[in-house]
Amino acid sequence: MSSSIRCLIAFMTFTLSPPAWSQETPNDARMNDYDVDHYDLSISFDIPHKSFNGTVMMEAHALTSLSKIVLNVSNRTLTIDSVSSGTVLSPFSHREDRLVVGLASAIPPHAPFAVSVSFHGISAFEGDYDDGGVYFTPNGRVATSSEPLFARTWWPCKDLPSDKATARVTITVPDRLTAVSNGILTRTDRQDGVATYTWETRYPIATYLIAVSAAEYREFSTTYKGLHGEKMPIRYFVFPEDYEKAKIDFENTPTVLEFFAQTFCEYPFVKEKFGYVEVEGNLTMENQTLCSITDSLIKGDRKSELTLVHETAHHWWGNLVTPTDWHHTWLNEGFATYSEALYLEHTQGHGAYEQYMNGLMSQKVGSLVGSLIGKSDTAFWDSFAPRVYVKGAIVLHMLRNIMGDSVFFVAMREYLSDPHLRYANATTEDFITTCERVHKQDLHWFFNEWVYASSDSIDRPALTCSWSSDSSGPNHSVRLKIGQTTSSHLLFKLPLDVQIKTLHTEQVFPITDSLAIQSFTFALPEKPESLWIDKQHKVFRTLDLTEEP
């Protein structure tokens, strides 16, 4: 989901009203009784009436003995017409956003089965970022938005990020429109004034990443050359009036893909495509292999390039390795936000990286309180609070400084290449385990402070520091006193660099501050002239430093 720092600050500052949607209904435990293998979704849009109809066949296998299955289906927007298993109609009930289907005969554990659901629906979505479903625009265009739990508002599915499957999406629209979706276009049919497009993705995909867009698009393309020479199309679908501007704004896409491939691993969906599709509304989103980009970002000046970088980075952080549930959204959004900083470092130098990170760490004190691990995985504002983006990126910045560059990036690559996580799901503990294995040191102390700690009073330690020097005789020393004034709420273990300048030397002393009040003494070859603590801002903190007589 979109997050350049400029948009994020506006998001934090001006969004005061409650979201259009907040679901606190827990997921039905019976959905854990089966695993989806494939979705075959066909959907037809009636644009003048802002309605749609379709069928979805779900292929799955049982994890335990099954007599019923449960799907997520919105009661607000969807009506179920029929359910069948094979050629046999199945009894069903549809209430409280759940579709409960009775199976004709019990399915034994590990056995495959298939269920087909026919449905029709209406749209209650107006294109706002904290809602979702099908957006019928005033200009006769169509687009969908499904993160985190809005796929269920436009098609019946097991709407959990933990169950990824392959998918085929067939879209029928008026013949004047081009319809696009995930993966590869495998078929196009035109008849009687309508066009039907079939897109297929053979990589596992979470339901929130399946998307459809339809408009009178103008297309252009380029090519990405993979790490091993494999060529992949990069496809762009834009509104005709924005064609020239989009060619400027999207020009660096191959460079972005190449940088992330070299930094993390090969682009994960290299056998299909990468692309951007222009949409209306607040629908900017990292849909797998085809990011949706809202029209307001396409201006022909590249000022929204970091947003494009963010959405592209999600193909590693979220699309390749997907969080098991929405408690762990920071594994998506914090990592994609930090990827913006890495791209700036790559293209503009380390000073640009530091400026970006200092901007994140300059957020108002208290604006990022709370654990990065959400308390609820069904409430929008818990999964997508500003702290998830900003503090998540800051955590990675600090972790990089603790582990060192080489070890940090090895850990990032090993996390993405883990066969148990790749094209599957992960939790925060999975990431910690990888980091500790590569670093060969315990890091739980760090993650306990910065990721798990749930203090609602502070979001960073406040340090009050004073120093004095003793230059009597031939020896010189500095005494530094550090007080964590926020220690009554949360006491941090802080690796800090103390930098002391004398007339002829400048030395850096690594220390670890871990007490409410702690003192340190440093020996020097000559009288100190100045002292800094954490001059490079490697730690998220406020700091007041004074020199005593």
Residues 98-144 have pLDDT tens digits of 999 999 899 999 999 999 999 999 998 999 988 999 999 999 999 99
Name the residue among 454, 461, 318 with its Cα closest to residue 3: 318
Nearest 10 degrees: Cα torsion 275, 131, 383, 457 = 130
Please give the Cα distance from 373 to 391 (Å, whole number). 11
Q: How confident is the model at residue 339 (pLDDT cuts 50, 70, 90)?
A: very high
User: How far is residue 135 from each of residues 122, 268, 280, measured CA to CA in Å?
Assistant: 10, 29, 9
Domains and CATH numbers, the chain: 31-313 (2.60.40.1730), 321-452 (1.10.390.10), 462-547 (2.60.40.1840)
Please give the Cα distance from 207 to 27 (Å, whole number). 15
The encoded tokens of residue 389 equal 């983006």
Rg value, the chain, Cα: 26
Q: Assess contact for 415 and 317: CB atoms under 8 A.
A: no
User: How far is residue 214 from each of residues 150, 174, 280, 393, measured CA to CA in Å?
Assistant: 18, 9, 11, 34
Residues 454-463 have pLDDT tens digits of 877 899 999 9
Among the listed ranges 60-74, 430-444, 454-468, which one has the minimum average pLDDT value? 454-468
Share of residues in the chain with pLDDT > 70 (%) = 94
pLDDT at residue 12 greater than cutoff 60: no
pLDDT at residue 377 greater than cutoff 80: no
Helices 350-361 and 386-403 cross at an angle (nearest 10°) of 130
Q: Give the DSSP H/E element, type plus range, for residue 308.
A: helix 305-313
Please give the Cα distance from 290 to 211 (Å, whole number). 8
Q: Assess contact for 302 and 348: CB atoms under 8 A.
A: no
Close Cβ partners of 539 (under 8 Å, ≥ 6 residues apart) = 398, 401, 494, 495, 496
> Quick count: other Cβ atoms within 10 Å of Cβ 353?
18
Q: Assess contact for 325 and 375: CB atoms under 8 A.
A: no
Question: Which DSSP string corresponds to 82-145?
Answer: EEEETTEE--EEEETTEEEEEEEEEEPTT-EEEEEEEEEEE----S-TT--EEEE-TTS-EEEE
| The pLDDT of residue 473 | 65
Q: What is the mean pLDDT of the chain?
A: 93
Among the listed ranges 89-98, 161-170, 205-214, 381-390, which one has the minimum average pLDDT value? 381-390
Name the residue among 390, 395, 394 with its Cα closest to residue 7: 390
Please give the Cα distance from 204 to 288 (Å, whole number). 10
pLDDT at residue 19 greater than cutoff 80: no
pLDDT at residue 13 greater than cutoff 50: no
> Bridge-partner residues for 143, per DSSP?
135, 213
| The pLDDT of residue 279 | 98
Name the residue among 441, 439, 492, 436 with its Cα closest to residue 463: 492
| The pLDDT of residue 11 | 40
> Quick count: other Cβ atoms within 10 Å of Cβ 428?
18
| The pLDDT of residue 87 | 85
Residues 295-305 have pLDDT tens digits of 999 999 999 99
**Residue linked to tokens 């700091």:** 543
Distance, C-alpha 437 to centroid of its chain? 24
Give Dmax over CA atoms of the chain in angstroms.
98
Helices 253-263 and 330-348 cross at an angle (nearest 10°) of 110
Name the residue among 403, 387, 402 with its Cα closest to residue 439: 403
Name the residue among 42, 116, 33 with its Cα closest to residue 68: 33
Q: Give the residue with greater pLDDT, 200 vs 1.
A: 200
Name the residue among 472, 474, 471 with its Cα closest to residue 528: 471
pLDDT at residue 4 greater than cutoff 80: no
| The pLDDT of residue 2 | 63
> Bridge-partner residues for 494, per DSSP?
513
> Is residue 239 helix, strand or coil?
coil
Q: Give the residue with greater pLDDT, 187 vs 454.
A: 187
CB-count burial class (<10 Å; 0-12, 13-18, 19+) for 508: exposed
456-474 in b/e form (b: 16+ CB < 10 A) is eebbbbbbbbebebeeeee
Please give the Cα distance from 109 to 106 (Å, whole number). 10
Please give the Cα distance from 388 to 374 (Å, whole number). 9
One-letter amino acid of 334: G
> Bridge-partner residues for 34, per DSSP?
62
The encoded tokens of residue 16 equal 């005061």
The encoded tokens of residue 467 equal 């120093």
Please give the Cα distance from 88 to 109 (Å, whole number). 21
List of long-range contacts for 228-231, beta carbons under 8 Å, 24+ apart = 228/266, 230/270, 230/271
| The pLDDT of residue 285 | 97
Q: Give the residue with greater pLDDT, 504 vs 173.
A: 173
Q: How confident is the model at residue 378 (pLDDT cuts 50, 70, 90)?
A: low
pLDDT at residue 24 greater than cutoff 50: no
pTM, to two decimals: 0.94
CA angle 265, 268, 271 (to 5 degrees): 125
| The pLDDT of residue 379 | 64
Q: How confident is the model at residue 9 (pLDDT cuts 50, 70, 90)?
A: very low
Please give the Cα distance from 383 to 388 (Å, whole number). 7
- Tell me what the mean pLDDT of segment 162-172 comes to: 98
Residues 214-241 have pLDDT tens digits of 999 999 999 999 999 999 999 999 999 9
